[in-house]
Structure 1
Amino acid sequence: MADQKRFRTPYKTVESQEIDADIYQPPLAKVSPKGCPVLINIHGGAFMLGSSRMVNMDQVEDCLQRGWIVVAPNHRLCPQIDLLEGPIRDIRDLLAWIYEGGLQQAMNQHGSCHPRLVDLSHVFAFGTSSGGTLALCLGFGVPRPVAGIYDMYGPCKFDDPFWKTELPQMVSKIPSGLTDEFLNQVFDENPIPITGGVSLEGQAAGPPNFNDPRQAFALTQIARGNVMDTIYPSKKWEDVDPIRNVTASFPPTFIVHGLGDTMVPIDLSRALLAVLGHHGVRSGMREIPGEEHTFAARMKVGSETWNLQREGFDFLDALVHNT
């Protein structure tokens, strides 16, 4: 990443806890005189795991070569705080921070003698798995939504029976002997963590460690079909479910989903696409042959999967050049 500088900066503080993001600046040679579009790149992990460093760096580099600034945030992790008050609130506060000039100020302080200018008319959201859901949550419930969204196999339709279904392929991997006392140690973590465990979708940090209560807890909830009840006990789905919040003013949205996904059924994304179309929202979807839920962790640059998933970034790129 020649002529590119990554730095980390806080974007909000909760009591004494700083919540931060990694900022990736594009090479100066790629910067448009009109300024740099911004891509918010949100990690996955079932809202309970992951961190800003667990995103796919090949995708980051692709965006930098397009002349975009990439912002990869951390957010508070469930279950000590629920989905709305934790991950969604943090990501929405990040968007407000960008629109209010916080990103530009941070870049001016950390940048070179040739700072990149932020193009606030083209702030986009992208995420994989739970990060895809959070990207979609920047299309509603905010004063100024993002200009476009790329959702990569993000969960939605939270009242679907699937979300209460056990996943046999994961149940078989859960060690015996995990007690509730051990698993519930996650509720004792203070402050609420903003990083945790392995990545379920980006560049994996190794196999799950079932000696870590957070990883064991999260993977057990996924396997047992308890994720939605765990992260949002109130079940007020109308406040958090993207598919219930699509209107004619929803941002242009592109969806990518693997046809072999057993952790988030592709039918849920198809349903979201149908709702987007019903409301006349500019949208598209690419179904990836044979790919499971976590294929972003394994895809190789130049492969068929790589080229197909790039259509999501091309969709966003077209929004820059057609406006």
Structure 2
Amino acid sequence: MAGFYFFLAIVSVMFTWAAIVQARRVYWLAPLYFLAAWLAGELALIHLIWQIGLTALLAFSGLLGEPLAQIGLGLFALSWLGLVYLHVQAMDSPRVLGLALRRGLGEGYRNEIPTERHKLLEDGISAGSWLKPFAMKRRGVRVHSHLAYGDAGDRNRLDIYHSDQPREGGFPVLLQVHGGGWMIGEKEQQALPLMYHLAERGWICVAINYRLSPKAAFPAHIVDVKKAIAWIRENIAEYGGNPDYIAITGGSAGGHLSSLAALTPNYAPFQPDFEDADTSIQAAVPFYGVYDFLDRDGIRPEMSMEKILADKVLQVSREENPELWEAGSPLTHVSDNAPPMFVVHGSHDTLVWVEEAQNFVAALEQASKEPVAYAELPGAQHAFEVFHSVRTDHTVHAVTEFLEWAHARWDRAD
């Protein structure tokens, strides 16, 4: 038992260290490093609780007197200090998110949200939520599952989340696009905390599957996203939604696709056989997205995505079809036609480096006529908002504020 305790102490220190340190040039270790940092960073206090509980159990059993267990205790103590630091860092998220919204939208942005909607905004978080990270369902939220929006079978199906209480004027719509490197992923696996939170508060959330590589080559992925937007415009009123207001979000590959969809309204090359459909987007919240297939600023030369993009996703090299690589990059389409956007990225993202978001936001701020907010969350890893955590729940509240602000602004203009 002392040996097992010592082993767990080593693993715990390694996980905690991975979450604290911004180590990105880890090459083939990147997936393992990301997994360790992600679990430790988002579940810091939960790790602290079980580690202290295990130590107390060993102390009660009289096993902590063994030399190996005492070394393990010292290692665990280091882990505990790091986990407390990570928890405090996550608790600082509302300051970072609030500053991002005030800078992007203006100091008085909350005053633009109707008074009757203010009571639905939240500044604090519940420990009962982040202590149960995988408890997603919320009372009063209905889900319609596996509705077809295209002809690609299971990959063209969507789920609809909405409240059982109607909203005057219809529910504004949020379209969620899952991530997974354009090659894996399902509509039920990402952004559930955000979708259930919004659905409770009078939004309708639509989560989609789309065709994946290598079976399908880009631009099949964005074509499917556009098909989903067209389907929403034609059908969402049947579920109480307002087809005139569609916001979009997604993480990682979903961040890429959601930002690309937002920046290419009614773009014919991405709408084969449905060129006349209205695929405009009224607001966008991309999370930790890939914004430039070409990596034109040389952000990640040592850990390039070029090979996997060429072999699996686009299935053509940039030399063979530079136009496709260019068209598939959201950065290419940045213009004064962009909708209001709230870009969210973690400073410690191992898989998609934060400089990509910084460059994308800088281009948006220079070109767009609409407000741009950017939150760079200290210590956050890739996929941080997949389940409930301190950081996730604060981010969900900030995104809710942004979407309520964007919808209110649109409603007044309309």
Q: 1:102 aligns with which of 229, 235, 239?
A: 235
- Residue 287 of structure 1 aligns with an amino acid whose one-letter code is E
5+ unaligned residues in a row in structure 2: which ranges? 1-137, 267-277, 319-323
CA contact (8 A) 1:288 1:305 kept: no
Match of 2:161 in 1: 24
Q: 2:397 aligns with which of 288, 310, 315?
A: 310
In 2, Cα distance between equivalents of 1:309 and 1:2: 18
CA contact (8 A) 1:164 1:226 kept: no
Match of 1:227 in 2: 308
Cα displacement (A) at 1:103:
2.6
CA contact (8 A) 1:150 1:313 kept: no
CA contact (8 A) 1:52 1:74 kept: yes
CA contact (8 A) 2:251 2:288 kept: yes
CA contact (8 A) 2:155 2:210 kept: no
- The alignment covers a number of residue pairs equal to 250
CA contact (8 A) 1:276 1:282 kept: no
SS of structure 2 residue aligned to 1:60:
helix
Cα displacement (A) at 1:277:
0.8
Distance 1:290 1:76, change over 3 A: same
CA contact (8 A) 1:20 1:73 kept: yes
Listed as ranges, the matches of 1:122-201 within 5 Å are 122-143=245-266, 144=278, 145-160=280-295, 161-162=298-299, 165-166=302-303
In 1, Cα distance between equivalents of 2:232 and 2:372: 24
Please list the CA deviations of residues 118-149 of structure 1 after superposition, one character each: whole Å capped at 9, or x if unmatched.
Answer: 21232110101111111112223332411000
CA contact (8 A) 1:11 1:102 kept: no
- Residue 135 of structure 1 aligns with an amino acid whose one-letter code is S
- 4+ residue runs of structure 1 moved beyond 6 angstroms? none
Cα displacement (A) at 1:246:
1.1
In 2, Cα distance between equivalents of 1:60 and 1:308: 12
Question: Is it true that 1:120 corresponds to 2:258 in the alignment?
Answer: no
- Residue 236 of structure 2 aligns with an amino acid whose one-letter code is L
- Residue 13 of structure 1 aligns with an amino acid whose one-letter code is D
Which deviates the most, 31-40 or 132-141? Answer: 132-141
In 2, Cα distance between equivalents of 1:306 and 1:81: 34
CA contact (8 A) 2:299 2:356 kept: no
Match of 2:148 in 1: 10
CA contact (8 A) 1:256 1:312 kept: no
Match of 1:194 in 2: none
Please list the CA deviations of residues 60-118 of structure 1 after superposition, one character each: whole Å capped at 9, or x if unmatched.
Answer: 1111122111100000101122121x21100101101111x22334x3xxxxxxxx2x2
Match of 1:288 in 2: 377
Q: 2:221 aligns with which of 69, 83, 87?
A: 87
Distance 1:289 1:33, change over 3 A: same
Cα displacement (A) at 1:164:
5.7
In 2, Cα distance between equivalents of 1:262 and 1:17: 31
Question: Is it true that 1:254 corresponds to 2:342 in the alignment?
Answer: yes
Please list the CA deviations of residues 283-323 of structure 1 after superposition, one character each: whole Å capped at 9, or x if unmatched.
Answer: 110011101112123551xx245314532332121011223
Higher helix share: 2
CA contact (8 A) 1:2 1:27 kept: no
In percent, how many aligned pairs have the same letter? 24
In 1, Cα distance between equivalents of 2:282 and 2:327: 21
Cα displacement (A) at 1:166:
3.6
Give the RMSD, CA atoms, in angstroms: 2.1
In 2, Cα distance between equivalents of 1:27 and 1:164: 50
Match of 1:55 in 2: 190
Match of 2:359 in 1: 271
- Residue 142 of structure 1 aligns with an amino acid whose one-letter code is P
CA contact (8 A) 2:162 2:200 kept: no
Please list the CA deviations of residues 171-216 of structure 1 after superposition, one character each: whole Å capped at 9, or x if unmatched.
Answer: xxxxxxxxxxxxxxxxxxxxxxxxxxxxxxxxxxxxxxxxxxxxxx
In 2, Cα distance between equivalents of 1:49 and 1:228: 14
TM-score normalised to the size of structure 1? 0.72
Which deviates the most, 258-267 or 134-143? Answer: 134-143
Distance 1:77 1:104, change over 3 A: same
Higher strand share: 1
- Residue 400 of structure 2 aligns with an amino acid whose one-letter code is F
SS of structure 2 residue aligned to 1:88:
helix
Cα displacement (A) at 1:163:
5.7
Question: Is it true that 1:297 corresponds to 2:379 in the alignment?
Answer: no
- Residue 11 of structure 1 aligns with an amino acid whose one-letter code is Y
